[in-house]
Every structure is written in C-alpha cells, then in structure tokens.
Chains A and B, each alone.
Chain A
Amino acid sequence: MNSEHHDLLSKREAAVLKHLQPPPLEIDQRRAERLPIKLPIYYIIQGSHDSVSAQTTTLNMSGGGVEFLIPRMVSPMTVCRLTVTLPKQPIPLVFLGHVSWCRQGRGKHKHQYEVGVVFSTPDSCDEPTFACYCHFIAAQLLTKYLT
C-alpha cells in the first residue's frame, strides 16, 4: 500500500468515524443570559475618594448583574449599591455589587460610560429579595422563549 492510498483510507476512516461518533456535548459556559430589560435603577458607586450616584434606566439585565450608563469612568472592582424597581413590585430591591467593566459609550451615548455591575448576591441581600429577582428573570426568559 502506497502512502497516498494509505492517506486516502485514513481520511475515509476518519470520515466514517466522524459520522458514527456523536460530537462531544456542547457545553454552554454562559452562567446567566442578558436580557434587554429597561427598568428604573438608582445607583451609588463608591470610589476610594468620591462617589457617583444617580437615577437612570438599565440597558440590560441578567441573573448575575446589570448594565447601565454613568457620567464618568470608574475602575473595575469599585463597590456599588443598586436599587432596582421591578414591575408590579411596590418595594424596590436593593443589591450590593461591584464594577466588572466600564467603557466609553457609543453613538448617542458617546459622552457617557457603559458600566457592567456584578451582583454580590446572594450574600449581599436577603433571601426574599434574591428570590424575587430570580423569579423575575426566569419569567422574562420564559416570556422570551415561549411566546
């Protein structure tokens, strides 16, 4: 058997094997899916020397955190306190978190900064608050995919 023939057989064998063996399970590493939810949010981002705080609207949310616009750049790991008002919930939810990333906004937001805050939950808030938020996110996911 010459090497060309050998190669050809190997390719065939590989093709057959590829056909017979299922591909490895595709692992979805995403821990929480971002949803384009716009909700009122009040934030206090506490830097080492000063703080920035305001009422704004979320750009998107996930089970793990929230993204919104702020007027100036802040450093990753800066701690924050967020107050989120969910629809049909009279009492706002309070979360502690930290800045995961911050970047200059684009387009009409180019004079602002987008910030991604990761919740320090469930340690930072009481269990009913966390449960309420979890149920809200799950309902949003189901609404997105089932309707």
Chain B
Amino acid sequence: MPETSSFTMLGRLYDTLPQFLRPVEFRIVRTVGELCASAHLVYDEYLKRNYLRPHASAMRLSMYHALPTTATFIAHHRQHGIVGTISLIQDSPLGLPMDEAYKNELDELRRRGQRLAEASMLALDSRLFGRRVFTLFHAKKLLMTLRLFKVMFDYLRSTTSANELVACFNPKHQILYEFLKLKPLGGLKTYSGANGNPSVARHLNIDETKRQATSHVAYRLFYGKRPSAKPFANQLRLSPEELRTLFVQHLSILPSASPSELAYIQSCYPTYAFGKILEPPVPSAISHGQF
C-alpha cells in the first residue's frame, strides 16, 4: 500500500475510537447460542496460539460452564456478532480450572477466608486488529479488554459474594495484568489447560481495588458508577435439553466427569432429570444438535 494511503487510513482510524465502540455492547450471555458463539471465538483464537488442540466441536468449554454460577460476558458487535469474551467462574466444591496447576496457592487464599472467582477464557477477535498488536499500546484493544473486564467486575461486585479475583494466563500477558494491579500468586508452570504452554497466576483483592478506585486510571473506569444486578437478571440458565446438547452430545464433558463432580452439578439443578440428560447420544443427533 502506498505510504500516503496508509497514513490516511491510520489517521482516520485514529479518530474513530468512539465510532468503533458504539456498535459494541458489553453484557452477560443471555442465550445458549451466544454461549456457543463465545466458546467458538475462544476456540478459534486459542487454536491460533496453540493454547488448545483441534476438536471437532470447534468450541472451548469446560465442566465449569455447566454450573449456573459461571457467567460468560461478551462484546457483542451489532453487525459482526461476538467479537470478545471473558468468563467468571465462582469457587465451588468443583474448585476452579486453575486448581490443576495452582491448587496450593489457591488453597492458601481459601484458608485465609477469601472467596475466590476465576477470570477465564479471555479472547478478542484478532480480525479486529493487526497482527502482533500489544494491548497496552493500542487504544481500541485496550478499551475493549477493559470494558469486558468492567462488565465482569460489575457482575462480581453486584451479584456474587466473591472478594478475590484470580487468573492464570500466558506470561506474555503479564504486563496487562500487572497494569491492573493483580499481584503474583504462583510462579511459572506448564498447564494442560493451556495445552502444555507456560502460565503464571495472579490475584486481585476486590476491597483493595475499592481503596485505589480514584488513584488508578483503569479502576476509575471500573468504579464509575455503583453496579446494579439488573443488567444480569437475564443471565443464561441452561435448560435440560441445552445441557444435554452442549455438554453430552457436542462435548463429552458430563459423561467424562467423576461421580462426585457429576453429583455436585446435579445438585445445582435439583429439578432436572439427569438420567435423561446423560443418556448416551444417538450418533445422528450429534450433527443435528443445533442451537
């Protein structure tokens, strides 16, 4: 591309941040279709980075997503659908996904009476940005990431009793989490949840963020207005059919769960007939199980 036209484009983009964000709604997932679309976005983006192995479902979901206490948040573009996502998993008898690598560190927080929630599966549609764009240097990417964090943070403060946010991620994202003042929790480890890639863990005490609300520029965004639980009232609650289609037919997550894990998931849905949900799938039903 000639230099002048390149500069014109960049100049135009430079001025379009409000226009860029205007058609994007940051909110909780309301339908199973949105959950699948966000799981597909995570799959696509993580596959590009070799954070997971290819799978026929083309979705990245875990047993924790079958829990009614797990919430997924999306950046929903009016024309292009879901362009960003993050999930919040609350601690439960199933533990947290990062217990696999950081159980000792998390148990120490639990012993101190902290109520944990894990921020997980953050993904942005890389088609929105050029290659190798570093989040902290790029206003659009930075604001999209922080707006996703904000909606998750509002939910955490208004709807849950969690007071300690934990996360584990590839060390190359460390500077972003450090910018948000997450403190180191565990050293460098390899993690099967990230396809054997290295990971580090960090944590954030919510009361501490409150105390720094005015001094940190990102916290000023998070603490702009007292969050209300109202925007989260229509949070997705999976029906028995959706649980079966997603976690038995598409992804064999519930059939692979241990008896104790399954018993806990069942206890979260006391009125659901789990015998029917767990029936082995008919092969033809798998390919037709659309949402």
Contact = CB atoms under 8 A, between A and B. Distances in A.
Name the interface size band of chain A.
Answer: 20 to 34
A75 to B, nearest CB: 19
A6 interface: no
B221 A31 contact: no
Nearest to B18: A145
B10 interface: yes
Interface residues of B, number: 32
B127 interface: yes
Interface string B174-187: 01001100000000
Given A137-B137, A145-B17, A25 B142 contact: no
Contacts of B268: none
A30 B138 contact: yes
A31 B79 contact: no
B217 A28 contact: no
Interface stretch (B38-46, B128-136, B235-243): B128-136
Contact of B178 (A32, A131, A143): A131
A23 interface: yes
B13 interface: yes
Given A62-B137, A145-B143, A29 B125 contact: no
B130 A30 contact: yes
Max chain A C-beta neighbours (<10 A), residue from B80, B142, B217: B217
Given A33-B14, A143-B217, A146-B217, A28 B130 contact: yes
Nearest to B128: A25
Nearest to A64: B137
Given A134-B179, A135-B178, A27 B128 contact: yes
A144 interface: yes
B16 to A, nearest CB: 9
B220 interface: yes
B218 interface: yes
Contact of A29 (B10, B178, B217): B10
Contact of B127 (A25, A29, A134, A139): A25
B10 A135 contact: no
A27 B129 contact: yes
Contacts of A16: none
Max chain A C-beta neighbours (<10 A), residue from B6, B13, B146: B13
B20 to A, nearest CB: 8
B132 to A, nearest CB: 7
A22 interface: yes
B13 A139 contact: no
6 contacts: A30-B13, A138-B137, A141-B142, A142-B217, A143-B217, A146-B220
Interface of B: 6, 9-10, 13-14, 17, 20, 79-80, 125, 127-130, 132-134, 136-140, 142-143, 146, 175, 178-179, 217-218, 220-221
